[in-house]
Amino acid sequence: MTVMQTKQPEKINLDDILSYGNDPEMISFAGGFPDPKLFPEAALKQAYLDAINEDGTAIFQYHTAQGDLDLRERLADRMRSHCQVAATAADIMLTQGGQQAISLIAQMLLTPGAGVVIEAPTYLGALDVFNRYQPHYYEVSMDEAGMDVDQLAALLAKHPEIKLIYTVPDFQNPTGTTLSAIRRQRVAELAAKYQVVVLEDSPYRDLSYNGSVPPTIKHFDQAGQVIYVSSFSKILSPALRTGWLVADQRYLKTLISLKGASDLQSPQISLRAINQFLSHQDIDAHIAKLRTVYREKRDTMLTAIEHYFPKNVTYTKPAGGFFIWATLPVGIDAGALLADVAVPQNHIAYVPACCEFAIPVHNNGMRLSFVGCSPAEITRGIKRLGKMLTELV
């Protein structure tokens, strides 16, 4: 468990990392981008046409900040059937991706010096949001069952200024680990005891490759302290810029008002197109296809790592999602290695640890995304990376 006042070190810019993909020789494991071959292009095109044909001019008008009722009703059904959360459409707000939900929740809760508990490491896009409020970060370490809830309990008991616990419990970005059911229940109980909000950020939940996923933290939430956030970005397309949050009414009212102040509403055309997609297509069959392809890629990357990485590099074995996290021997700076060796000499990109911790001391990890490359590229890229690491560690 580590505590720090606020952040942040000089660190590698995310846009720079993603632009490494423009090098034609580059094999990039950096971006958390879905495989573009799996976008349901024809069905989405048809869904946009159907939405415009059916809604007529109304689709071009202003609508509510909370978002399209039909889509919220479909999502409420899905929350009940897939997440064991008894939500209704009235408990849901549609957002421009999960990212906007994170941003609005931070706006609602954070002021300079407010305490924020984060997993170490965590999703770098959430750190980008929280940093704007100059919070006091409390990092909780992770193991193969997710965040250490004993550390969380100790922090909450000691620091009443903590306002927010941010967690990605399902196939976490960046480690790929999943929070166990027993820890989920404990997180919900601690949030209730200390009246702290949990932001349960879960865009990868449907992308499970080894069977079932534990119930959501929201499922255990008796006190209305958990705000569940998810998104269509990883299961349909990030260009739709559509996500949703499920919150207790006392938080939802504020969040709707902040959403209205921020952008008035999400684009109605996309919301109605998604509604059409869900009414005419079998999204679970589409997700099953994603699972099959991504499972093979995950297995390919794990096999290649096992074969080509030196034995003093450890790595996670995710049961879903997009990412594997590799830990290099202490003292090796994965950021410097990326900039000086991996990209210019080996044409390999990954996201280094320095981007994913609030506290700059952790620098020997790398996030490897297995979804964007073909299995052949994965094997080639991991072989190159393994050769580079073998020469270094």
Ligand X SMILES: Cc1ncc(COP(=O)(O)O)c(C=O)c1O
Give the interface with ligand X as residue ranges (CB under 6 A).
32, 97-99, 123, 125, 168, 173, 201, 203, 231, 233, 238, 243
Alpha helices in 23-111 (DSSP H): 41-55, 69-83, 97-109
Q: In the complex with ligand X, which residue's Cβ is closer, 233 or 346?
A: 233
- Exposure string (b/e) for 68-84, b if CB count within 10 Å is 16 or more? bbbbbebbbebbeeebe
Nearest residue to ligand X, scored by beta-carbon proximity: 97
Q: In the complex with ligand X, which residue's Cβ is closer, 203 or 352?
A: 203
Cα–Cα separations (whole angstroms), residue 377 to 99, 222, 245, 301, 314: 29, 46, 36, 10, 21
Q: In the complex with ligand X, which residue's Cβ is closer, 286 or 367?
A: 367
SS3 305: helix
Smallest gap, in angstroms, from Cβ of residue 63 to ligand X? 20
Q: In the complex with ligand X, which residue's Cβ is closer, 243 or 335?
A: 243
Query: Angle at CA 115, nearest 5°, toward 110 and 118?
Result: 100
Q: In the complex with ligand X, which residue's Cβ is closer, 146 or 238?
A: 238
Smallest gap, in angstroms, from Cβ of residue 220 to ligand X? 20
Kindly state the helix (H) or strand (E) to which residue 146 belongs, with its residue range: strand 146-147
Q: In the complex with ligand X, which residue's Cβ is closer, 247 or 313?
A: 247
First to last CA, the chain: 27
Smallest gap, in angstroms, from Cβ of residue 56 to ligand X? 29
Smallest gap, in angstroms, from Cβ of residue 33 to ligand X? 8
Smallest gap, in angstroms, from Cβ of residue 76 to ligand X? 19
Smallest gap, in angstroms, from Cβ of residue 78 to ligand X? 16
CB atoms within 10 A of CB 90: 13
SS3 373: coil
